[in-house]
Amino acid sequence: MHIPDGFLNVATVATTYAASAGGISYAVREANKKLREKHVPLMGILAAFIFAAQMLNFPIAGGTSGHLVGAGLAAILLGPWASVLIMSCVLIAQSLIFQDGGLLALGANIFNMGIVASFSAYFIYRMATAALGDSRRGRLIGGFVGAWASVVVSSMFAAIELALSGASPLAVVLPAMAGIHALIGIGEGLVTGAALSLVLAARPDLWQSRVVRRSAI
């Protein structure tokens, strides 16, 4: 979902750069309050995993491929602001070094795949665990649904930016982007669920959760 240069107009580029810069500076302050020593290596591991997994496109229907975004995994494990930092670093490196995602579109890519994806995954995950209980099952189902939704919601924001830039009418580009990413999101949900269950099995203490843990069922 990396937007290349040329798709967005000047107003959209400026707005998304401003929103992402504000989001990153707030994320630094929030991480400064909440991140502990034990989360430092996990931040690095998540960034490395998200970068590598984003290279691994998997085929979906109709001659199209998709890859992990990863914001859902990071946001569910460490909270949305830490996830914004991780995603921003990945997207900056991809744009500057690997020419994946435009330089002018970097603000929009950070906004969509960093900020929007992290927060949509986090809030849907929190709603799901509130409804299903903060058990292993509730967390994994919440992780799948949150990760799936994060891809769809961020693709809709990308569609809105494309429409505002005059690339394609909203009535056409919004359902097209949401529809194709509803399929890609299934892969996102499965990989996120698998990664979360690995963390639960190996190092459950690394999973930062503000929900008071219920006694094991």
60: three-class secondary structure by DSSP: strand
**Should residue 53 be labelled a site residue for other proteins when binding is judged by CB under 8 A?**
yes
202 interacts with other proteins by CB under 8 A = yes
The residues with which 60 forms a beta bridge, in sequence order, are 64
Q: Give the three-class secondary structure for 5.
A: coil
Give the DSSP H/E element, type plus range, for residue 140: helix 136-164
Task: Fill in the per-residue mask, 140 to 159: x = in contact with other proteins (CB under 8 A), - = not in contact.
Answer: ---------------x--x-
Distance in angstroms (rounded) separating the CA atoms of residues 170 and 80: 28
Choose one: 12-20, 115-123, 140-148, 160-168; the region binding other proteins (CB under 8 A). 160-168
Least Å distance between CB 131 and other proteins?
29
Shortest spacing between CB 33 and other proteins, in angstroms: 6
Query: CA 38: distance to chain centroid?
Result: 22
Residue 39 binding other proteins, by CB under 8 A = yes
Task: Give the tokens for residue 58.
Answer: 């998997």
Nearer to other proteins, 101 or 146 (CB): 101
Q: By CB under 8 A, what part of segment 108-127 binds other proteins?
A: none
Beta bridge partners of 58: 66
By CB under 8 A, residue 93 contacts other proteins: yes
